[in-house]
Each structure stands twice: as C-alpha cells, then as structure tokens.
Structure 1
Amino acid sequence: MKYYIIDDSLSVVKVLNRIVEEQGIGEVIGVSTDPEAAVKEIIVEEPDIVLVDYLMPQKDGISLIRQVREVKPKINFIMISQVSDKEMVAGAYKEGIQFFINKPINLIEVISVLKNVNDKVNLENTLGGIREMIQTRANEQKPDVKAKDKEQRLKEIKYLLGILGMLGESGTGDIIGICEERLQSNSSNIKEGISLYCSQKSEDPKMVKQRIRRAVKRGLTNIAGMGVEDYYNEIFQNYHYVVFDFESIRVEMDYLRGKRKDGGKASVDKFIEGLLVYSEVK
C-alpha cells in the first residue's frame, strides 16, 4: 500500500513515516509540511492512502482533500488531528475520510487504524476485480462452474451471517434469498436483486427492506459490541470491515459506550454487496 504524509509538523511526519515503514504497513512514497506543494505531488504520485493534518496554516485538511478529489477521486484519506468538536469531525467524515488518528500520536492506535484502512482498500480493489471476473464468466457461459460456485458461496454467506449473530433474524432469510438470486443471475446489481426477489415473493419492497434493515442493525450492534469489549477481539478485527463502513462501526461503538443518543446506520445495498464480495474472495 502506497502512503503520502502531510502535516505542518515535521516531527509528526517523521513519526508516522517510521511507523508505516518499520511496521511493514506500506511504502511511504512522499511526505510534506507544505499543503500547497503536497496537492500537486499527491495528484502526480497517486498514493493509495494520504495521511493529512486537519488544521494547517496555509490550507486546512478538508480543503486539500476537496482539491485532490476533484482530480483523483479514488484516493483514500485518513485525518490527523487534535480536534474533538463533533460538527468538525462529522464534516470531515462527510468529505469521505476513512478515519481519524488523534494527536498526540499513539503507536497502537496508528497501527490499528492503518491496517484496517489497508484491509478496506484491498477489499474495494478486490470488488472491482470480482465484478470484472463475474462479467467474464457470464460471457463465457459455463453453467456447471457457476452452479458449483453458487453452492459454496452461499455457505460462505451463511457462515458470515452466523459470525455476525444474525441467523435468528427474520430479515436474514430475505438477505440469503436476495444473495441466492444475485448468484443465480450472475449479477452484482443489488437494487435489481431486491426488486426481483420481492416480485418473486409478491411482497412489498418497503416491508422487505425494513426486515433486512433490522437484521443488519442487529449484526452491526453485535460486531460493534465485540469491539467495545475488546478492540483486538479476533472476530471483530477479521470481520467488522467486510460489510460495514468504519463510520457506522465507530458511531455504534460510541452509542454502546453511552457517548451518543443514536447508533450507527448501515446501508442494506452495501451490506449485501459486501456479503457477495466476501463469498467470492473467502
């Protein structure tokens, strides 16, 4: 994984550089204390992940992210900051940052965040490859191979739903049915899959989605609870990023700790898409 580090403090840049390379997390392809110069270098070098300071005198981190995203929308960002204001943090997440690293820099936190973001980026890259592979298979029209894959992939999907503690939820049956329909159709279009599934069952899509949403929320609560009890829980570390985004997990964990009135929200479409990706790469 290729990293670029930008912070107006040279000491912070050096610390993060050392952590990334000494811990074998990735390769640092560029560093800067000048945000204006960094924008140009980031666009040219195209790192996978940029560590960017929130508050810098010449240009704040949000402005830098917006400027880079206009040209390179697929670059991932992690914000470095002492900021604790909820509105500022929420605004940063809306700009699409993956996570916050708090100052002063904590070795364990940095390693955990960077490894998790690495996993997410790898998963997203895999998703693109899977879509291409699925399309190739469909064009080749090999029904025997597809049927065999379908059976095994459904087992993997049910296994993950079990890990998330969702098998007792009524909406989980709908999730499995939609996944089965998508595997049969050899397509990753989730909205189309939900529509076809509801049509086959003669059910109102709104009611089906409501059931699924309750089941997904149960899975989110269960996996976030594992992280609250022990952030380094093996199941939490291995599976929380597969079907949930980091922001939803973080908000749900804060809710379980009593720090928020509302918990995290998860997208039904992204959840099912994550299951299909997991079943392919497992």
Structure 2
Amino acid sequence: MSAVRVFIFTLLALLAFAGNSLLCRAALIQTSIDPVSFTAVRLMSGALVLWLLISIRTEHNAGQGNWWSALALFVYAIAFSVSYVNLSTAAGALLLFGAVQASMIAYGLWQGERFSLLQSLGFVFACAGLVGLLLPGLSAPPVDAGLLMIMAGVAWGVYSLRGKSGGDPIKVTAGNFIRTVPLALILALVFLDGLLLDLDGVWYAVLSGALTSGLGYALWYTALPYLKASTAATVQLSVPLVAAMGAVLFLAEPFSLRLILASIAILGGIALVTLTARNAKDTT
C-alpha cells in the first residue's frame, strides 16, 4: 500500500474514532433515544457492515472472534453510551482514551516490561491527569459517569489486547461484533419498559455503528500493518482533541481549564511513555 493511502486511511480512521464520541453524545442530548437502544442499534449496524465487508472479501465469510472478546466489546459499548448521558464529549473521549492506554501500559508492566525513569514519570502524569479530571469541583464531570467511562476504556483495552492473538483483524472484529448482537438484544429485553426509540437517535446510532465503528475499524485495521506500533499509539493522541474540537464546533460544548490541564497531563504522559519506548528500540 502506498504511503498516501496509509495516511488517508489512518486519518479517516482517527476521525471515525472521534466521531463515535460526537455521534453518541449528540444522540443522547439532542434526541430522546436511551443509551440501551443506542448501543443495540450501534452494535447491530456495525455487525451488519462488517459482515458485508468480509462477505465481499472472501468466499468463506463466517467470521472469527470469540465470546470473551465479544463480551469485552459489549461492556465497552454499553458503558460508553450510558456514561455519555452525563459527560461532555471532550471529557468522555479523554477519559476513554486515557483509560485504554493506561490499562494496556499497566498490562505490559504486569507482564514484566520495565520502564525507564521518563516512562515511569509519563505513566504517573497520565494517571494523575485521570484522577485530577474527576476530583470534586465546579467543572468536574460526574464521578459515577466518569468511572463508567473509565470502565469502558479498560474494556476496550482488554479487547485490544485480546485482538493481538492474530488472524484476519477485520474478520475477527466482524465475528466479535456479530456475537454482541444477542447480548444487546438480551439487555434490551431486560430494560424493555424503559426503551425510548427516536428516529433521529436511531440514525445517529446507525451512523455510529456502520460508519464510525464498522468502516472506521476496517480502515484502521487496513492501515495498521503499515504503521509502526509506536506510531499507531502516538497518532491516537489526536482522537480526544479532535473530539473536543468537534464538540465545541457542533455541540456548543465548553472546553474548561480543568479539561485543558488534564489533557496536557494525560496525553503528554502517554506520549512520553510511547515515544521513549520507540527511542529505546531505535537505539538497540
């Protein structure tokens, strides 16, 4: 694949990741759809698009994946939607991204990886930024919603780590999305009396599932083999900032001083970890 195509696919994938936050937040504040319905429609739409993609690409299109990964994906999706009822787009994206990266870094430490002093400082800064964002104050997001988004980030981190086992990433993702559909339907049945379907909200969910999730993941996994691991980790630093700018432009959300400082601590700390790791590998 040419460098231009890799750049375009990567850029579109990052925009899609930020778009997930914008679409979910817009649906929950501008329409009457509830988080459970949004999640169910999103997962079903993503499963359908990914199934169509693998159907076009291969003759044997049963998909791959497994139930444990599907469960992690489902936990991420429902926690993501419920938390965005009370979180701003920027705060939610920052907490999600920070939790994903922090959980994956923590897993590496648990597996025996060793950090340099700079990497350790970066990890401490990132964790301090997450804690600082949730400390009580006038501009602090609700703690319960914030913790729920952190749970979504940890679940996505688990899903990402499990996805490193190999296989066709698009088929694996399709198989996992397809497995989330019965989980979403069971949850919808449990909360049947509280479901609120809204045509505009459903369209937001369809766009989130089909476009920014299904196609977004497909683009990302297509470009990923052509990116260095450190590059892939570093470029994702832009996602919360893109989501924040989109929220200011399209949802008229403020960007508080607390959020700015937390962004510097979280994104700067993670950048210090990933870039220091890259430099260490380049010198060996």
Q: TM-score with structure 2 length normalisation?
A: 0.31
Structure with the bigger RCO (C-alpha within 8 Å, sep 6+) is: 2
Q: TM-score with structure 1 length normalisation?
A: 0.31
| Larger proportion of strand | 1
Task: Please say which structure displays the higher CA radius of gyration.
Answer: 1
| Larger proportion of helix | 2
